[in-house]
Structure 1
Amino acid sequence: MTGRLRNWFRSRPLRSRLALLTAVAVAVAVAAVSLACWFLTRAQLEHELDSSLRNTSLNPDSVQSLLRDCRLGTTPPPVGGSYTVQVVLANGFVCTSGKAAIPAGAGELAVARGQLEYVLHTVKDDDGREMRVYTYADPTGLSAVSIARPLSEIDNSMSTLGWVLLLVSGIGVVGAGAAGLWVARTGLEPVNRLTDAVEHVTATEDLAVRIPVEGEDEIARLSRSFNAMTAALATSRDRQAQLIADAGHELRTPLTSLRTNVELLARSEETGRAIPPDDRRALMASVKAQMTELAALIGDLQELARPDAVQPGPLGVVPLHTILRTALDRARLRGPELTFVTDLAPWYVRAESPALERALVNVLDNAVKFSPPRGTVEVVLMRGELTVRDHGPGIPPDELPHVFDRFWRSPSARSLPGSGLGLSIVARTVQQAGGTVSLAPAEGGGTVATLRLPGAPTPPPEL
């Protein structure tokens, strides 16, 4: 039964559950207050009844007159007004002035015999009514006098009070339920707007939807979070679309050239006209170069397609100076006529070795690409700061903010090989290692690239 009730409750709308919980909470509170009020009122009335009985006493003449009438066999007249008065002798003789006799118990006999000073208790008279009885010793010391009043006086008042409390409690619970439903509807209105916005985005994929934010409460925070999420999703989608467009544009050039060269080779085979050996070698070299450029571009796209929040591989403490020497060897092969001046101090970082080597190769390739013939490339690694300087034409100040953007290429460098992704990969890899990278004009001409990577504990030497 409990499980069915729980399932039924969970199947209700949120506003209905809030209204029901509010009504139940108010009902419990009202019931607790009503019960406390009822019991406190009854206790107070009983206390006042007991005080009234204690403060009521008969004079000895009335007691003697009552006894005389009982012994003569005549009905004694009422002597206590609304009270029932009863005289109990030590031998057990009982004389009653009232509607019905009250059984004289051991307490009354003990008071009549002088063993107790008084007795106060509740008994039923011969008519079955509950009576509150106060018995005290007569000043003459010959009998005990019992004064009683029916508890129906309290019961009637408590019954009336109970019905009043029940009516007020019912009105309070109904009012609380209505108020809870109104509060739930009002309080959940922002949630309804948020739900409508989410459903709209789901149905239309329109990420430009924004929810009005009012106040500083939890609902306002939720609305701000939703707006920030949709803005981030819209930015991500725009960047994805831009990446696809840029990638398509960059892929079109090598693919077009590759297609042209392949078509020339195929036409030569189909027509039987041999291509001169020198032209054929040049054609094959062009095909190989275009395939190499295409493979490099695809590799760069795969590198950038990975989410920023996901590490590309397991990080470990690696020697930056050693990886830099390997990257320098590869750079010397690409610029054999250049002079590399190096000053490398040992430095260990926490990074992924292949990704870090790729980033360093990209930085050095950038210096090789823009260096003049027989120029010099200066590479210095000191205390976690790596500087790579070339003596090329440099980068105009207005182009510096864009050098790390994907597919961005300087107008003066668009005739050179490359996809415009190298520095983007460098920035991504360095940021994942906790470092920073920047490009700036060098004194005397050229460009200097600066990478700062935080150090890591030096690994112990291998035995």
Structure 2
Amino acid sequence: MTAVAALVFVIPLAVQVREDARERALTEAGRRSAIVAGALAAQADEAGVRRAIEAAGSGPLTDTPVVLGLSNESATGRASDADLERTVGAGRPIVVDSDGGALRLEPVIVGENTAVIEVFVPDHALNDGVPAIWWTLALIALGLVAASVFVVDRLAAKTVGSARSLVRAAMAVGDGDLGVRIQPTGPRELAEAGYAFNRMADRLVTSRTNEREMVADLSHRLRTPLTVLRLDAEALDPDDTSVGDFSAAELDRRRTIRRIRQAIVTLEGEVDALITTTRRAVADRGAPPPEDGGCDASEVVRERMTFWSALAGDQNRPYRVIGAQTRIPVQVPRSELAAALDAVLGNVFRYTAQGTAFEIGVSRRDGWIAIRVDDAGTGIADPERALQRGASDRGSTGLGLDIAKRATLATGGSVSIARSSLGGASVVMLFGDAEAKPKQASRFGLVGRLAGEPGRPRWPRPRDHSE
């Protein structure tokens, strides 16, 4: 394409250069002819005409002018009789081709006769400087073609390289390597395709991470009913059948109790293995986007305490619920909030001794909604480590508090751990209030530590379900 463009540019220019050189030579011939024509028109004598011819002279472009058709002129010209007759008949200067060049013939009326002034222009004058210019134009055209070939080759190599990088990255993603990324280069379209590929890979990583996190979290939710089953199983009679004399019915009952306990242990092990395996496969620890919809925090608290109150009664755990009588909407799906609350309460039942008291508080203030769970246990020695996903110093999966943290982060909140007024741990889940602009968060009394206000009793009767 570049060669065609060069030819389209060079060929007309070369023709024009040749025409300009010919026109320049003929113009010089016309100038010399005009000198002699002036002498003839003035009816100069023979000596005057000769002086005019000598004044016109000869040069590199044309020969000396020759006057034809006068009786006093003996010079012989190159023009034929037909050319002379045509010139006289035309009454104006004409140019005719001749051997070795061109003739410029100009008619001049002298008295009753017509003379013709002939000026011969040789071929070298007609093409003066043309070959050098043509060679220059040819070199320029070749240079343009070579430069364009080089530029096109570099651009094509860059484009092909970008396309190959995109293909290799796509093949790598297809083989399961979701960490591969490319540097978008090349033409705009390929660069946009590279950016789109990187965004797609990021979305794939996020999607796979969210799926695995969801599997881990759903698996962890099984821990709540398993904890209840294990605690109930521990409350059953002993299952030892090696000491003492037992009836067949008693032996069967104790063996059944043993099988129940073994099945619970096995199930807990399988759930822990599923959580651990899923957590190790997660490449990115980013939280998944929150689901749409919300729920009433007070209603969720009351509902979950209906479940946990039975187990608290079996273990003689005094408890109370504060602030769950009024509606407190929170922009967290009901299932997520219930899972977060179960995870925190499950830790209370799992890691504190039977008979240990606990308290749940719900409050709404300054653009924040807080759910507080306090216990009278031994507390948490390293709160920062406890809030790290997968970290636990008690042999668990370490996902309980992380489930709560993920639920709060979806609304711009957080989870904090401190020493409670009961002497044990105090876990506060802070959610952003969608109906008010949150202020600077703090542990205040924002969580409604009504139990710490002067004049209020620390504990009601051990099992007070009215609160």
TM-score (norm 2): 0.52
Which residue of structure 2 lines up, in the alignment, with residue 52 of structure 1? 28
For 1:316, the aligned partner's letter is G
One-letter amino acid matched to 1:357: A
Candidates 336, 355, 359, aligned match of 2:340: 359
Q: Structure 1: which amino acid aligns with 2:142? A: G
Name the residue aligned to 1:289.
Answer: 264
Counterpart in 2 of 1:269?
A: none
- Give the superposition deviation at 1:340: 2.8
Q: 2 CA distance for matches of 1:430 and 1:276?
A: 50
1:394 aligns with 2:370: no
- Which deviates more from structure 2 when the two are superposed, residues 175-184 or residues 368-377? 175-184
Mapped to 1, the partners of 2:253 and 2:21 lie a distance apart of 124
Match of 1:409 in 2: 392
How far apart, CA to CA, are the structure 2 residues paired with 1:377 and 1:63?
134
The answer to whether 1:338 aligns with 2:318 is yes
**Separation of aligned partners in 1, 2:369 and 2:27:** 96
Q: Is the 8 A contact 1:316 1:352 kept in 2?
A: yes
Match of 2:381, as an amino acid?
P
For residues 429 and 122 of structure 2, what CA distance do their matches in structure 1 show? 100
The one of 122, 142, 149 equivalent to 1:170 is: 142
How many residues end up aligned between the 2 structures? 362
Q: Secondary structure at the match of 2:323?
A: strand
Q: How does 1:53-452 map to 2 (within 5 A)?
A: 53=29, 55-56=31-32, 57-60=34-37, 63=40, 81=58, 82=62, 97-99=77-79, 101=83, 104=86, 108-109=90-91, 125=96, 127=98, 149=121, 153-155=125-127, 157-167=129-139, 169-170=141-142, 173-174=145-146, 177=149, 276-287=251-262, 289-290=264-265, 293=268, 297=272, 315-336=292-313, 337-344=317-324, 346-370=327-351, 373-382=355-364, 383-391=367-375, 392-397=377-382, 400-406=384-390, 408-411=391-394, 414=395, 419-431=397-409, 433-442=410-419, 444=421, 445-452=423-430
- CA–CA distance in structure 1, aligned partners of residues 106 and 433 of structure 2: 97
Distance in 2 separating the partners of 1:103 and 1:379:
127
Contact 2:100 2:122 in 1 (8 A): yes
| 1:279-325 CA distance string (max 9 Å, x none) | 23421431453366357557857986788779589523444443344
C-alpha contact 1:363 1:426 (8 A) present in aligned 2: yes
Structure 1 residue 330: Cα displacement: 3.1
The answer (yes or no) to whether the contact 1:60–1:140 under 8 Å persists in 2 is no
SS of alignment partner, residue 326 of structure 1: helix
Unaligned residue ranges in structure 1 (runs of 5+):
1-23, 70-75, 90-94, 112-118, 212-217, 258-263, 266-272, 459-463
Secondary structure of the structure 2 residue equivalent to 1:396: coil
Give 3-state SS (helix, strand or coil) of 1:357's partner.
helix
Secondary structure of the equivalent of 2:389? coil
- For residues 136 and 325 of structure 1, the distance between their equivalents in structure 2, rounded to whole angstroms, comes to 125
Q: After TM superposition, give the deviation of residue 341 of structure 1 in Å.
A: 2.8
- How far apart, in 2, do the equivalents of 1:62 and 1:424 lie? 116
> Closer, same or farther in 2 for the Cα pair 1:334/1:293, shift >3 Å?
farther
Q: Which deviates more from structure 2 when the two are superposed, residues 162-171 or residues 291-300?
A: 291-300
Give, as a single letter, the amino acid of the residue that structure 1 aligns with 2:393: S
**Amino-acid identity (%):** 15
Q: What are the ranges of 5 or more consecutive residues in structure 2 without an aligned counterpart?
A: 47-52, 70-74, 183-189, 231-238, 241-247, 437-467
SS of the residue corresponding to residue 316 of structure 1 reads coil
Cα offset, 1:377, TM superposition:
1.7
What is the alpha-carbon distance in structure 2 between the residues aligned to residue 188 and residue 80 of structure 1? 67
CA distance in 1, matches of 2:141, 2:287: 59
- Corresponding residue SS for 1:58: helix
Tell whether the 8 Å contact from 1:102 to 1:125 is kept in structure 2 after alignment. no
Do the aligned partners of 1:438 and 1:449 also contact (CA within 8 Å) in 2?
yes
Aligned counterpart, 2:439: none
Which residues in structure 2 correspond to 1:30-49 (within 5 Å)?
Answer: 34=10, 38=14, 41-42=17-18, 45=21, 48-49=24-25
Residue 395 of structure 1 aligns with an amino acid whose one-letter code is: I
Q: State the distance in 1 between where 2:287 and 2:261 align.
A: 37
TM-aligned CA distance change 1:177 to 1:147, over 3 Å: same
Structure 1 residues 385, 61: CA separation in 2 closer, same or farther (over 3 Å shift)? closer
CA contact (8 A) 1:367 1:388 kept: no
1:13 matched to which residue of 2?
none
User: How far off its partner does 1:441 sit?
Assistant: 1.8
1:60 touches 1:139 (CA, 8 Å); kept in 2? no
SS in 2 for 1:410: coil
The residue matched to 1:340 in structure 2 has which SS? strand
Distance in structure 1 (CA, Å) of the matches to 2:344 and 2:84: 113
Alpha carbons 1:389, 1:446 under 8 Å: kept:
no
Name whichever structure is richer in helix by fraction: 1
Aligned to 2:429, the other structure's residue is in SS state strand
Q: Answer yes or no: is the 8 Å Cα contact 1:376–1:390 preserved in 2.
A: yes
Residues 43-74 of structure 1, C-alpha deviation per residue, up to 9 Å, x if partnerless? 654664465355431334764799999xxxxx
CA distance in 2 between partners of 1:46 and 1:317 (Å): 93
